[in-house]
Structure 1
Amino acid sequence: MTQIKRLDHFVLTTARLDECLHFYADVLGMRVSHENGRYALFFGRQKINIHTRPTEFLPAAACPQPGALDLCFVVDGPIEEARRMLRARGIVPETEIVKRRGALGDMRSIYLRDPDGNLVELCSYETGANENA
């Protein structure tokens, strides 16, 4: 069997398109694309497709809903920088910095909410984790 290599994209359903694009692009620094009536966000080698209603494009998940996701993004640099950047943009995280265990080992995270209520975790791996794997 072929082994899964990495995540390519996922779909985020939003009820607040403009606020959603602002949050992910202007607050978190992702690049927005709008082609053929479809929105997408890009970061690194990954993509988030943005849908504004369930089953906007088929096939689709059985029960897509705004606010149903729990996402974790690895940031470049110390998590303290991410916290400062968020606060400078008027975003108050749901938590202070906490220790967690991610796919590559020990990390430090902060949690916040996007405009639809999705839980967004920003994390930074402690030294020694091979983040390029």
Structure 2
Amino acid sequence: MPFIDHLDHLVLTCIDIEATKRFYTHVMQMQLQTFGEGRYALRFGNQKINLHERGHEFEPKAHLPVPGALDLCFIAGVPLDDVVAHLKQCEWPILEGPVERTGATQKILSVYVRDPDLNLIEISELMG
């Protein structure tokens, strides 16, 4: 068995934590979780994204935590057409897509958006 099994969480550094919470809970439909002393996480499936606000990061932290430096790909639990309809309902602009890409385990169909910090967010459907 490999040493690493799966990703538990990652940390997202943001400029405006309220705007980030709104985007990931409303547009991306993740669940907001609070933990520790005033900390926030965004849950989806068996993973989560912990939030750090720039200038108020929790220790230990990345060597150079900066907003807008991530490129994340999420696999949707619904058809990509439903994702596109939801993004349009939220009036959230789609940068590109749907386009075919190569995912970690198989081909995927993806759309791209940016979060409030301009991180690139890819939302994909597995192609079967």
Using structure 2 for the length normalisation, give the TM-score: 0.94
Q: 1:55 to 1:16 in 2, by over 3 A?
A: closer
Structure 2 counterpart SS, 1:96: strand
- What is the identity, as a one-letter code, of the residue corresponding to 2:34? H
Q: How many residues align structurally?
A: 127
Contact between 1:54 and 1:64, CA under 8 Å: does it hold in 2?
Answer: no
Unaligned regions of 5+ residues in structure 1, if any? 128-133
Give the whole-Å Cα distance in 2 for the aligned partners of 1:96 and 1:119. Answer: 13
In the alignment, which residue of structure 1 is the partner of 2:117? 116
Does 2:60 align with 1:59? yes
Runs of at least 5 residues in structure 2 that lack an aligned partner in the other structure: none
CA RMSD of aligned residues (A): 1.4
TM-score, length of structure 1 as denominator length? 0.91
In the alignment, what sits opposite 2:81? Answer: 80
- Percentage identity across aligned positions? 42
Cα distance in 2, alignment partners of residues 88 and 97 from structure 1: 17
1:22 equivalent to 2:22? Answer: yes
State the 4+ residue runs in structure 1 displaced beyond 4 angstroms.
Answer: none
Change (3 A) 1:37 1:55: closer
